[in-house]
Structure 1
Amino acid sequence: MDITLANCCGNCGHHVKGQLCNVHEIITAETQACHAYEFRAVLSRESDCLKCAKFQTEHCAHPLKAGDGMLCTVYYPRISA
């Protein structure tokens, strides 16, 4: 079974201004989902390499540059239980 981040409107590049889908031209909620989903890469100071599940693994896109404070659009959050 593959586990992925939520493919919902809140993470979609088509979700404009937090409420309107520019593909379907309707108001949507952040928790809705559809097959037109397109990942929206967002950088955040809270999403640096040290908090990324891919850091120091073979899945890291930038293993020679990854480090404290680096921000990346392929960031994958660590799951904390």
Structure 2
Amino acid sequence: MELKLAKCCGNCEHFLNGRLCTIKEIAVSQNQVCNSYEFKVIHHREDDCLKCSKFQKSDCAHPKAASEGIMCTVWYPRATAS
């Protein structure tokens, strides 16, 4: 089974203040979904190339610079199951 990030309001760039959609201009909950979904990137200090799903792959934007401790604007979390 492949795990993916949920494409719901809680992970969307348009979700404002934990309750409003800036595209639809209505109150929404974190679990709702629409076609205007746009992934919201949230960087943490412990996130770097080693935790990116694009690390050492053909879609890495900076393959020569990618290494531990480095992160770029196209960083994408690696989906892992515990």
TM range (shorter): 0.7 to 0.9
Residues 43, 72 of structure 1: 8 Å contact kept: no
* Structure 2 portions without partners, runs of 5+: none
Number of aligned residue pairs: 79
Please give the per-residue CA displacement for 1:15-51, whole angstroms capped at 9, x wherever unaligned.
1112111122222112211011122232222321011
**Which residue number corresponds to residue 10 of structure 2?**
10
Q: Where in structure 1 do 4 or more consecutive aligned residues deviate above 3 Å?
A: none
What TM-score comes out, normalization by structure 1 length?
0.77
Residue aligned with 1:10, SS = helix
* Structure 1 portions without partners, runs of 5+: none
In structure 2, do the counterparts of structure 1 residues 16 and 77 end up closer, same or farther at CA, with 3 Å as the change threshold? same
Could you tell me the percent identity over the aligned residues?
52
**RMSD of aligned alpha carbons:** 1.9
What TM-score comes out, normalization by structure 2 length?
0.76
